[in-house]
Amino acid sequence: MIPPRLIFKNGKLKILDQRLLPHKITYLTVRDAAGTAKAIKDMVLRGAPLIGCAAAWGFPLELKSRHPSSWKETLRLLESAARVIKAARPTALALFYAADRMAEKAAGFIAAQKEFSPAKYEALLRALHREAAKITEEDRAACASMGALGAGLLNNNSIVLTHCNAGALATMGIGTAVGVITEASTRRKIRHAYSCETRPYLQGARLTIWELQQSRVPSELITDNMAAHLMKTAGVNAVIVGADRIAANGDTANKIGTYALAVLARYHKIPFYVVAPTPTIDTELKTGKEIEIEERSSEEVTFINGRLVAPKGVKARHPGFDVTPVSLITAIVTERGVISPVNRRNIAKNLRAATISKTGKQ
Ligand code: MRU
């Protein structure tokens, strides 16, 4: 069983510390927006949808920890909470989606009030608590829906390959790409799954293979540079990944290394599937060129488990994500359906559709 990722209780948020997984299960408690933002920045939690859910809880946390005496002051607190949360990491749209949605909810509530009172402030807190719970529940339901839709795309006896961690640990539900694999496995469609270790942060080695192991999916861990060989020799017949941000034309930002896998998949004529909920789609960005790619510390490349593995003083690059061009993507699965062929028109159509439940109903 994958432990709960976020627990909101008594005005505190307990966050499963993913930096220590799979060997230690511990929680870090945060009490305000700055604490939430720091946990996101420090990778205590990660994965686009989960970052979004934590960002949402940052708002009721912030208000619970403060005691303003006017709506003006409350609005100032909320603005500063939104600023600090949005500065945590730049690439995953879910973070910005959740922060904007929470800030709008609060602004709407405050605009409808005449006088400030402690009772009204408590009512605002309850409204924000409900909204954060709604964002969390929407993510859980979206995962279930994508799992079912994605599993429907796979043939019996599939041999799949995934990258990074787009599983339960990256969401509040069963995951996106890994949710598809585990759902397909319960339908007995998966012969084998490969998880790329995902250098430098090793999300595949520490998290995804652990999830697959616990779900009893026949699986093996590989280093990133084994992917081409296995596509050529091991019968891989689907590559399935998540996404952090998708531009309006379908260009997709995901964990560094995803683009290389898409190129390899095309060469080997293997379908390449992206699985991501609609809050990942950024209709304001025309193409992937406009997606901001997070540059992370070079020490995450030169050190492994606290040990320096490169010459002392060497320079290293660490872009955390890359952009896969839409031309390499066979289909994008959202909670509203399967987008294929992937193009601007079909993405816009998907965004207008209703969510499809796990049972296939709208
Ligand atoms: O740096 P991370 O671990 O937050 O990156 C995570 C990924 O790139 C995932 O593939 C993506 O967020 C999709 S998660 C459902």
**For 296-312, what is each residue's pLDDT tens digit?**
999 999 999 899 999 99
d(C-alpha 243, C-alpha 245), whole Å: 6
Q: Hey, whose CA ends up nearest to atom 5 of ligand 1?
A: 47
Pocket test for ligand 1, best of 5, 244, 300 (most atoms within 8 A of CB): 244
Q: What is the pLDDT of residues 152-168, one digit of tens each?
A: 999 999 999 999 999 99
pLDDT exceeds cutoff 60 at 362: no
Q: Does residue 46 have a pLDDT over 70?
A: yes
| Helix residue spans in 154-271 (DSSP H) | 177-186, 203, 209-214, 227-233, 258-267
> What residue type is assigned to position 346 of the chain?
N
CB 242 less than 6 A from any atom of ligand 1: yes
> What would the mean pLDDT of 271-278 be, rounded to a whole number?
98
Per-residue confidence band for 247, with pLDDT thresholds at 50, 70 and 90:
very high
Q: Give the model's pLDDT for residue 305.
A: 86
Residue 240 in contact with ligand 1 by CB distance below 6 A: no
Ligand 1 proximity of 164 Cβ (cutoff 6 Å): yes
Whether the bond into 200 is cis, omega within 30 of 0: yes
Q: Which of 244, 251, 282, 322 is catalytic?
A: 244
pLDDT at position 357:
73
Domain with CATH 1.20.120.420 in the chain: 6-141
How far, in Å, from the CA of 302 to the mean position of ligand 1?
21
Q: What is the pLDDT of residue 354?
A: 85
Tell how far the Cα of 163 is from the centroid of ligand 1, in angstroms. 9
pLDDT band at residue 356, thresholds of 50, 70 and 90?
A: confident
Query: 277 CB under 6 A from ligand 1?
Result: no
pLDDT of res. 27 = 98
Q: What is the mean pLDDT of the chain?
A: 96
* Structural tokens at position 5: 């990722």
Find the 52 Cα to ligand 1 centroid distance in Å.
12
pLDDT tens per residue, range 50-66? 999 999 999 999 999 99
Q: Whose CA is nearest to atom 6 of ligand 1?
A: 47
- Annotation says 244 is catalytic: yes
Give the pLDDT confidence of 101-143 residue by residue, as tens digits: 999 999 999 999 989 999 999 999 999 999 999 999 999 999 9
% of the chain with per-residue pLDDT over 70: 99
CATH of domain 6-141: 1.20.120.420
Q: pLDDT, tens digit, for every residue of 186-233?
A: 999 999 999 999 999 999 999 999 999 999 999 999 999 999 999 999
Q: How far apart are CA 237 and CA 218, in angstroms?
A: 15
Residue among 180, 254, 259, 334 whose CB has most ligand 1 atoms within 8 A, to mutate: 254
Give residue 47 CA to ligand 1 midpoint distance, Å.
4
| Distance (Å, whole) CA 121 – CA 116 | 7
- Mean pLDDT over 258-271 rounds to 98
Dist. CA 46 → ligand 1 center (Å): 6
Burial class (CB in 10 A: 0-12, 13-18, 19+), 113: middle
- 35 Cβ below 6 A of ligand 1: no
pLDDT tens-digit series, residues 331-350:
999 999 999 999 999 999 99
For the CA of 203, the nearest atom of ligand 1: 3
Q: Which ligand 1 atom is at minimum distance from the Cα of 92?
A: 12
Q: Is 190 in the pocket of ligand 1 (CB under 6 A)?
A: no
CA of 181 to the centre of ligand 1 (A): 16
51, 43 in Cβ contact below 8 A? no
Contact 156, 32 (CB under 8 A): no
Report strand pairing: 303-304 vs 307-308: antiparallel
CA of 165 to the centre of ligand 1 (A): 6
Categorize the per-residue pLDDT at 93 as very low, low, confident or very high, splitting at 50, 70 and 90: very high
pLDDT at residue 360 greater than cutoff 90: no
Ligand 1: atom nearest CA of 48 is: 12
pLDDT of residue 10: 87
- pLDDT higher at 9 or 243: 243
Question: 170: Cβ below 6 Å to ligand 1?
Answer: yes
Whether 254 lines ligand 1, by a CB cut-off of 6 Å, is: yes
Does the Cβ of 47 fall within 6 Å of ligand 1?
yes
- pLDDT-based confidence at residue 359 (cuts at 50, 70, 90): low
Does residue 176 line the site of ligand 1, with CB under 6 A? yes
pLDDT at 174 over 90: yes
Please identify, in words, the CATH class of the domain defined by 145-359. alpha beta
Instruction: Report the alpha-carbon distance of residue 173 to residue 140 in Å, rounded.
Output: 4
Domain boundaries for CATH 3.40.50.10470 within the chain: 145-359
Q: If you average pLDDT over residues 288-295, what whole number do you get?
A: 98
